[in-house]
Amino acid sequence: MPRIVMKFGGTSVADLDCIRNVAQRVKREADAGNQVAVVVSAMSGTTNQLVAWCQSLDALHDPMEYDTVVATGEQVTAGLLAIALQKIGVPARSWQGWQLPIRTNDAHGKARILEVDGAPLIASLERGQVAVVAGFQGLGPGDRIATLGRGGSDTSAVALAAALKADRCDIYTDVDGIYTTDPRIVPKAKKLAKISYEEMLELASVGAKVLQSRSVELAMNERVRIQVLSSFQDIPGTLVVDEDEIVEKEVVSGIAYARDEAKITLRNVPDRPGVAATIFGKLAEDNVNVDMIVQNVSADGTTDMTFTIGKADLPRAQAALAAIKDQVGNSEVLIDPNVAKISVVGVGMRSHTGVANTMFRALADKAINIQVISTSEIKVSVLISAEYAELAVRALHTAYGLDAD
Ligand code: ADP
Ligand code: ASP
Ligand code: MG
């Protein structure tokens, strides 16, 4: 019997009518003779509300209690979907992360999955029961509830698909596939029939939130076949596949933006060995992920260091920097939360030159100033003022010839 994992995101379970619609889709797959495990997100807006409550009480809240709070959204939708399925005659039960369990590490708020015990689920699927699993959550050390970072239900779904050796992992969402860029910002974005794991991983890691980047990483390592498709329309979606399955390789396959980063500049940092290790060591210790980093040459024995972090980590980063102030001289800390990172991604960059230059030219033509640049083998990213994010994405989409006819 084929075994499949179906994942439904926040807008797909936004209210009871949506949940009934999801139940019908699940029923169809079960009636077609599949063993079905479903992963659900919280109702759209719920997680934002839960996060805001934690932040309002204390910007430096205990990450374990934050997880206790934010994991609840998925508990509600898992139970509701199980009820909706039972109501239309489909045997179903809900599972919380701790009940399987989905074991994670101790990075509360952005924990990584270490292990999934698929055995109880397989036994339940073999009895003909649909398993409805709460996404986004697992069980950390000391049996504390842990969550997987925003968008983490995608990763729950892929991890489950790997543990269950599922034939497919279908990610149902509010768009009908993966596009050359966010179709809500660029109406001329083109839908892709297929995208490689490498490109999707890079796009996701620079902000294309259609899939959480860890889900793509896991799918690539565990050989899970992902399809992204619409919860509301019956049309084929986008398959995430190996690079050699893609015949026509574009130089640039997609453009992504991230508005959830903040820029920190440390001015007059002493230019001596160990300073970067002190700063970034302390941030890592406090669980703050650092993304782009630039350091200037030093003229007078001091230098300026600029880096970006997730906006949600700002209070923690500021506290960390204050704690090491004595060790990094009397540097001045400047914070700018109004930035956006724009990235162009494509495996064709390995063999083509001039990709970065096209980006710089297109931004210059719109008078958009570039604050930080970073590159990898298949990606160029720039940091710009947040107010120009949409303009920049549209201009680049046109400049790389990606606009649909
Ligand atoms: P879900 O709640 O189903 O997990 P998300 O909001 O996390 O949905 O992800 C879907 C959203 O991702 C879309 O509504 C779209 O705005 C955005 N998105 C960003 N980049 C892309 C892209 N390249 N292709 C498709 N959607 C994208
Ligand atoms: N509900 C969580 C979030 O909003 C997880 C998810 O939707 O994937 O980030
Ligand atoms: Mg999502």
Cα gap 234→404, rounded to integer Å: 22
Q: What is the pLDDT of residue 298?
A: 78
Residue nearest atom 21 of ligand 1, based on CA coordinates? 182
Q: Of the bound ligands, which one is closest to the alpha carbon of residue 150? A: 2
| Long-range interactions of 352-359: CB distance < 8 A, separation 24+ | 352/251, 355/251, 355/252, 355/380, 356/380, 358/399, 358/400, 359/396, 359/399
Atom of ligand 2 nearest to the CA of 10: 7
CA 135 to ligand 2 centroid distance, Å: 8
Q: Of the bound ligands, which one is closest to the alpha carbon of residue 231? A: 1
Indicate if ligand 1 lies below 6 Å from the C-beta of 181: yes
Cα gap 292→358, rounded to integer Å: 21
Residues flanking ion ligand 3, Cβ below 5 Å: 9, 151
Atom of ligand 2 nearest to the CA of 152: 8
- This prediction has a pTM of 0.95
DSSP lists the bridge partners of residue 382 as: 342, 373
- DSSP helix/strand/coil, 334: strand
Q: Which residues contact 3 (CB under 8 A, 6 or more apart)?
A: 34, 35, 36, 37, 125, 164, 165, 166, 167
Contact 389, 340 (CB under 8 A): yes
Q: What is the pLDDT of residue 69?
A: 98
Q: What is the CA radius of gyration of the chain?
A: 22
CA 153 to ligand 3 centroid distance, Å: 7
Pocket test residue of 51, 74, 113, 136 for ligand 2, highest count of atoms within 8 A of CB? 136
Cα gap 360→381, rounded to integer Å: 10
From start to end of 274-399, where are the E strands? 290-295, 302-310, 332-336, 339-345, 372-376, 379-385
Q: Which residues contact 146 (CB under 8 A, 6 or more apart)?
A: 67, 97, 104, 105, 106, 107, 108, 111, 137, 138, 139, 140
In a 13 Å sphere around the CA of 178, the CA atoms on its Cβ side amount to 30
Q: What is the pLDDT of residue 165?
A: 96
Query: CB count, 10 Å around CB of 284?
Result: 12
Nearest alpha-carbon partner for 347 in 257, 255, 250, 226: 250
> Which superfamily is assigned to 3-174 in CATH?
Acetylglutamate kinase-like (3.40.1160.10)
Q: Which residues contact 401 (CB under 8 A, 6 or more apart)?
A: none
Q: At what angle do helices 72-87 and 63-70 cross, to 10 degrees?
A: 20
Residue listed under structure tokens 């934002």: 48
Q: What is the pLDDT of residue 150?
A: 96
Q: Which residues contact 175 (CB under 8 A, 6 or more apart)?
A: 183, 184, 210, 228, 230
Residue nearest atom 6 of ligand 2, based on CA coordinates? 151
Measured from CB, residues less than 6 Å from any atom of ligand 2 are 9-10, 41-42, 47, 73, 135-136, 150-154
Q: Of the bound ligands, which one is closest to the alpha carbon of residue 51? A: 2
Cα gap 86→130, rounded to integer Å: 10
Q: What is the pLDDT of residue 250?
A: 83
- pLDDT tens, per residue, the chain with 405 residues: 899 999 999 999 999 999 999 999 999 999 999 999 999 999 999 999 999 999 999 999 999 999 999 999 999 999 999 999 999 999 999 999 999 999 999 999 999 999 999 999 999 999 999 999 999 999 999 999 999 999 999 999 999 999 999 999 999 999 999 999 999 999 999 999 999 999 999 999 999 999 999 999 999 999 999 999 999 999 999 999 998 888 877 889 999 999 999 999 999 898 889 999 999 999 999 989 999 999 888 778 889 999 999 999 999 999 999 999 888 877 789 999 999 999 999 988 888 889 999 999 999 999 999 999 999 999 999 999 999 999 999 999 999 999 988
The b/e string for 42-67 (b: 16+ C-beta within 10 A; e otherwise) is: bbbebbeebbeebeeeeeebebeebb
Cα gap 181→397, rounded to integer Å: 8
Instruction: Write down the domain spans for the chain.
Output: 3-174
Q: What is the pLDDT of residue 163?
A: 97
The H or E element spanning position 117 is none
CA 89 to ligand 2 centroid distance, Å: 28
Phi, psi angles (nearest 5°) of residue 403: -60, 140
Indicate if ligand 1 lies below 6 Å from the C-beta of 84: no
